[in-house]
Amino acid sequence: MAFEKDLNLDATELRLGLPGTSEESEKQTSTSLRPNKRALPDMNEESVSSDSNVAAATKKSDQEIAPPAKAQVVGWPPIRSYRKNCLQQKKSEAEIGGIYVKVSMDGAPYLRKIDLKVYKGYPELLKALEDMFKFKVGEYSEREGYNGSEFVPTYEDKDGDWMLVGDVPWE
C-alpha cells in the first residue's frame, strides 16, 4: 500500500469508487474575490438592505444611524489591494482545512483520499486505513518496522523515496 503526496484537489479527478471521501477546499472569503471594479452603492450585493452607508442614493435623515456592520464596502477599510492580497493569502493558508493525500493499496481497484489533519497520531491513522481497506497492519517497532502482516504502510517523500510510515514524529 502506498501513499502519494498529492495536494491537487482536482474536482475532475477520475474515480471508480464511491464519492464522498474528498471535499473541496473552502472557498476563499468574499473579500478576496471582489472584482476589481468600483461597485456602485446599489450594485454592492452585500449591502442591499443596509443603505445607510451610502448617502448619495438615499434620502438619509439627518440623524445618524449606526448601520449593521456586516456589509463589506468597496475600498473600506482603506488598505491597498496589494497589502490585502498578501495577507489574505496567509489567512487562507491558515484557514483551509485538510491535508489530503491519496492512498492506494496493492490489488485494490481504486484509490482513496484521506485528510491527515483529521487524525491526531499514527495509531489513529493506521486504524482508519485498516477500516477503509479491510486489512490489518501489524505491530510497529522502530527496529523492525511493521511485524505480523503482509501489508506495510509506506509513503513517497519530497525526494521521491519510499519511506515507512511512523518513523518521523507525527507533527
Partner 1 sequence: MSEDDERQESPPSDLEFSSNKARNYNATGSGSGQPEIQSPYSDQVLENVLENVLHFLTSRRDRNAASLVCKSWYRVEALTRSDLFIGNCYAVSPDRATTRFTRVRALHLKGKPRFADFNLMPRDWGAHFNPWVLSMAKAYPWLEKVYLKRMSVTDDDLAMLSESFTGFKELVLVCCDGFGTSGLAIFVSKCRQLRVLDLIESEVVDDETDWISCFPEAESHLESLIFDCVESPINFEALERLVARSPALKKLRLNQHVSIGQLYRLMIRAPQLTHLGTGSFSPSEVAGQGDQELDYVTAFAACKSLVCLSGFREIVPDYLPAMYPVCANLTSLNFSYANITAEQLKPIIRNCHKLQVFWVLDSICDEGLQAVAVTCKELRELRVFPFDAREDSDGPVSEVGLQAISEGCRKLQSILYFCQRMTNAAVIAMSQNCPDLVVFRLCIMGRHRADHVTGEAMDDGFGAIVKNCKKLTRLAVSGLLTDKAFDYIGRYGKLVRTLSVAFAGDSDMGLKYVLEGCPQLQKLEIRDSPFGDAALRSGLHHYYNMRFLWMSSCRLTRQGCQEIANAMPGLVIEVIRSSDEEEMDDSVETLYMYRSLEGPRKDAPKFVTIL
Q: What is the closest distance, in whole angstroms, from the C-beta atom of residue 7 to partner 1 in the complex?
A: 12
Buried b (16+ CB within 10 A) or exposed e, 57-79: eeeeeeeeeeeeeebbeeeeeee
Residue choice 83, 120, 134, 143 for contact with partner 1 (CB under 8 A)? 83
- Residue 74 · residue 34 · CB < 8 Å: yes
Length of the chain, in residues:
171
Counting contacts by CB under 8 A, is residue 169 touching partner 1?
Answer: no
Residue choice 78, 109, 148, 169 for contact with partner 1 (CB under 8 A)? 78
100-139 footprint of partner 1 as x/- string (CB under 8 A): ----------------------------------------
As a whole number of angstroms, the distance between CA 143 and CA 88 comes to 45
Counting contacts by CB under 8 A, is residue 27 touching partner 1?
Answer: no
Counting contacts by CB under 8 A, is residue 75 touching partner 1?
Answer: yes
Counting contacts by CB under 8 A, is residue 77 touching partner 1?
Answer: yes
C-alpha cell at 22: 474528498
**Cis previous bond, 77, omega within 30:** yes
C-alpha cell at 21: 471521501
Q: What is the closest distance, in whole angstroms, from the C-beta atom of residue 101 to partner 1 in the complex?
A: 17
Residue choice 8, 33, 76, 109 for contact with partner 1 (CB under 8 A)? 76
C-alpha cell at 77: 477599510
Beta strands at 154-156 and 2-4: parallel, antiparallel or unpaired: parallel
As a whole number of angstroms, the distance between CA 19 and CA 16 comes to 9
Counting contacts by CB under 8 A, is residue 159 touching partner 1?
Answer: yes
- Residue 113 · residue 22 · CB < 8 Å: yes
Counting contacts by CB under 8 A, is residue 37 touching partner 1?
Answer: yes
The stretch near partner 1 (CB under 8 A) out of 12-20, 77-85, 97-105, 146-154 is 77-85
- Enumerate binding residues for partner 1 (CB under 8 A): 31, 34, 36-41, 43, 53-57, 60, 62, 64, 66-67, 69-84, 86-87, 90-91, 157-159
